[in-house]
Structure formats: structure tokens, C-alpha cells
Amino acid sequence: MNERRLDRGLGHLEFAMKTDVRNAQVVRELDRQRQRELWRAALIGICLVGLVLFSAWQHFELRRLHYQTVQLQQERTAELMVRRHLRLEIATLAAPRRIEEVATTLLNMTRPAATHTEVIERVRAAPAPRKSVVASRR
């Protein structure tokens, strides 16, 4: 409802005038141009939001992969150190001096005398027979 107040120069006179406006019969026309602009703006907004979300997803995926790469590099470095340590341990355990020490102290073995040593010559394999000599299987 509409209210009006009047103020006169000599005195203060106030009254309210109520007007009843009926909008039930008023039908507004659909503005096609404005509706098209609204849909266009909504579509552009949706595209921009999609682009921002895609960009953010790519960014966070890149960061996750970077952290994973750093973690894998650290694990690889640790594994290489373990590998070096194991190779050094193998070399230490396979040293002839250590093997001799273990054999003499723990296993109570003795060095053979010069008269007990025997030289074994390697036997060479005979050449393969010709094809005509080999029998075929059935």
C-alpha cells in the first residue's frame, strides 16, 4: 500500500492516504532478447566455473604427482644406500682372508701341506658328433 505524508508551511498536518493497487490482471510480456542474454550469461558463467574447476584439478593433480615423485626419489636413494651396504657386506664376507680365518677358527680346519695338494686339470668337452652319426628319435 502506498502512504503519502504532507507537510504544510503553517502547521504540521499529517495524514495517510491508502491506495489499493490490483496487479492480478497485469500480465507482463516475455522479453525474448533479455531472456537470451540471461541464458548466454549463465552459459558463459558455467563455462568459466568449469574452466576454473578443471584448472584447479590439474594444479592439485600436478602437486600430488610432484610429492609422489619426491617420495619415490627418496625411497630410491634409501634403496641404493642399502644396496651399497649389502654389496660391501658381500665383498667383506667373500674375502679369502676371512674365509680362511673362519675355516681355521670355527671349523677347525688346517692348511694342507704341499704334498697333499693335487692339481686337477680341466677336461675339455669332445666336439659334437656329425649329424650323420646322431640317430633320430620317434
pLDDT along the chain (138 residues), means of 10: 48 65 75 93 97 97 97 97 96 92 90 81 81 62
Q: Which three cell numbers stand for residue 30?
A: 516475455
φ/ψ bin of 108: left (φ > 0), alpha (ψ from -120 to 50), beta (otherwise) = left
pLDDT in the model for residue 33 = 92
Q: Is 9 left (phi over 0), alpha (psi -120 to 50) or beta?
A: alpha
pTM of the model: 0.47
- So what's the pLDDT on residue 126? 83
Spatial contact of 15 and 28, defined as CB atoms under 8 Å apart = no
DSSP-derived 3-state class of residue 2:
strand
